[in-house]
Structure 1
Amino acid sequence: MADWQRVEGSVTAPRGFQAAGITAGLKPSGSPDLALIYSESEAIAAGVFTTSAVRAACVDYCRQRLQAKASARAILCNAGQANAATGEQGWQDAMETATLLGEALKISPDEILLASTGVIGQRMKMEAFRAGIPQVVAALDSEGGDRCAGAIITTDLVPKAIALETHIEGRPVRIGGIAKGSGMIHPNMATMLGFVTCDAAVSTTLWQEMLQRATDQSFNQITVDGDTSTNDSLIALANGQSRTTAITEPGPEATKLEAMLVEVCQYLAKAIARDGEGATCLIEVRVTGAPSDAAARKVAKTIVGSSLVKSAIFGRDPNWGRIAAAAGRADVPFDQNRLRIHLGEFKMMEAGQPLPFDRVAASDYIKAIAAQSSSTSPTGQLIQDLDHPLEITVDLGNGSGSGLAWGCDLSYDYVKINAEYTT
């Protein structure tokens, strides 16, 4: 049984954090587009970012800030313009926003981290930004987590947010998180945009290591379309407001905190995969019998990222041959004569041999998962059922390594959404 419970509040659930989300006029739609997370005290900061050679100005800005000083007080995020591939002027725009926010919050710009999302090649609308910064600061609230989550999304159908609580030294400790992402999802060392807050006291080095390991088990294991973004950023703040003893080295408290961090990151990662552009269901691939956990994760992500596998799931076609083919090209050695494949409860291959199975029933299983995942609330909002994904299990028979990956099916709507993205 998990040693934590879910609580309300997302990034404002941990003590000492406020958040806001407003409409500043950055999106043509008029939807909320400017978000702010603020820690009332200095927080240890960790970050994981895109490895793309084409990066947004905010990514380079955050990297420089965190290399100089691994702490921060605020994260400002705009939606609408990516400020990527915008040259020197894009960098100057990022610097100006940090300066303006520092003035509004009465803190140093060095204590501010930035994130952007939207169309690549477009600068931020600075006139709207200049007017919006004082407004978003004025809107800061200890219950503003949900509004913040809603202001960072673009093509997402729903905001993504969670908060968990555990106890360390008999005191409650919380981690909250929000994320955005629906397309251009194939992270390499990061997520699309993700922000995590925590009120535990933890050392700089340990917090960064925890975040990296959590990323490897969550955001690095999702894919929607195989495209890594120019803006991928995952930023985590820990401000110590729980008043627990600082966690500075591995041990029971560190293990407990990291396990909760992984749970938060995996929830947000699965929510992104389920909300993939045009998707009708969440797919979970579990690989066992690999030479190592890293190898298992690699095979799992290759399978869930296969366009052929994804298309078959959308067509409700239990074509397990595509699963076997994807596993075989993952560049992880195994003996195909030991390969075992399940789709849900349907065993399709054993010891490298195809098995007879009820194809109609297997197709109905896929249909049932998709129908369950596509339900909506009375307001028409998608209900994300993350506890009942379509399950693919592959055993390589070649070791004790295991790993998970998540993705979604590939539908006609994905092409439509992205064919018309800027028009």
Structure 2
Amino acid sequence: MYNNDFIANMLDKIASLLEIKEENRFKIRAYRMAAACIRELTFSVAKIEEVKKLWEIPGIGKAIAEKIMEISSTGSCETLRSLVEEIPESLLDFLKIEGLGPKRVGILYRDLGIQNAQTLKEFALNGKIQELNGFGPKIVQKILDGLEHWEERKGRFPLDQVVPKVQSLLAAMRSIPGVTQAEVAGSSRRWKETVKDLDILVTGDKEHAGSVMDVFTAYPEVESVLSQGATKATVRWTMGIQVDLRFVDSDCFGAGMQYFTGSKEHNIALRTLAKDKGFKTSEYGLFKISGSKETKVAGQNEEEFYRCLGMDYIPPEMRENAGEIEAALSGKLPCLLEHSDICGDLQMHTTESDGKNSLEEMAQAAIALGYKFIAITDHSKAMHIAHGLDEARLLRWIETIHKTREKYPQFHLLAGVEVDILKDGSLDLEEKVLRECDVVVASV
């Protein structure tokens, strides 16, 4: 059975190929919206047996519902197969390269037959791309720079796609009897934009280590089990990322988290500092060296690990060997922004256009988050597929927002709109109507 992510990825692939073909933007947006909707569902789309029930899901229309049913049963659909016959799938990778949008990718394919990164680089260097209309020397250099960065990022996964899956896995690990701690380490814990793989550390009653391995390797996201032992297992998820899990002793958990969180550069610098102070660091703990004798002085938690080295605790997000060790030694680490520092949000959509929640629900959710203000900025009329607002609807909507505002006197509920900039440079709504808004977001 194909999971929601797989189905959503197929819809996104169709949207991207349509973009390269320069198809209708509203059709493209419909596929994007359906894909985003499916990713947020808490139940499996593949289990729905009647296409009519798919129509009942906000954001999914009849035509796309039929394609979802086809993908659910076969892993593909006729629309995607037809598109791939016209446009090589390899072109989708080009959309990840800075400087290359769908229109330019289409031109490169149609005019020069470029289908892979090697040919793209070759033609950029030999001047063939620069001969094309709209591809000047600056654009070509931007493509070369973007190609280099893309090569560096290849095989990495966006953090926003990884985090929700990691949280679900950790919840499953923590629910196992005998488990006392389960956390993610590595670059995802350092909140890097992309991650190559995942490191999970678990501790607790060691007699339950086998259960942990069994649950981990049988987890629904797992595509294949690469290895499994008594205290360590490695799997590959369906999204392609490799995940390593280690069951460690509780008195080593903090040291393990420090070691596997990295970064490599931070750990090398920390190891050098420790050596200068007469210590040795490892994934098992911090050890004081006295002649040939090693005495463990820290390991159960990270805070004591750093404290024993005479420094403040360094948050994972700062561990890049970019001056954080020196700052921690002198007590001058800067404070990180926290979720509690966010005061509000100035672009939010509701069910009045393409949002998934009502005005009241948005206001109540924002208040629950501790926000002081939000701006409701639903789409303007040019965004037909998103049920955008025309002048009359917007004025009525502003009035509704103002009335709702009265229910929450300690909270600032602002009335706004996301207005399209049209091809001629004008705005999608009359200025006199826009002046009634508290906030106007201009969108291309």
- TM-score, normalising length from structure 1? 0.26
Higher relative contact order (CA 8 A, sep 6+): 1
Which has more strand, going by share of residues? 1
Relative to total residues, which structure has the larger helix share, 1 or 2?
2
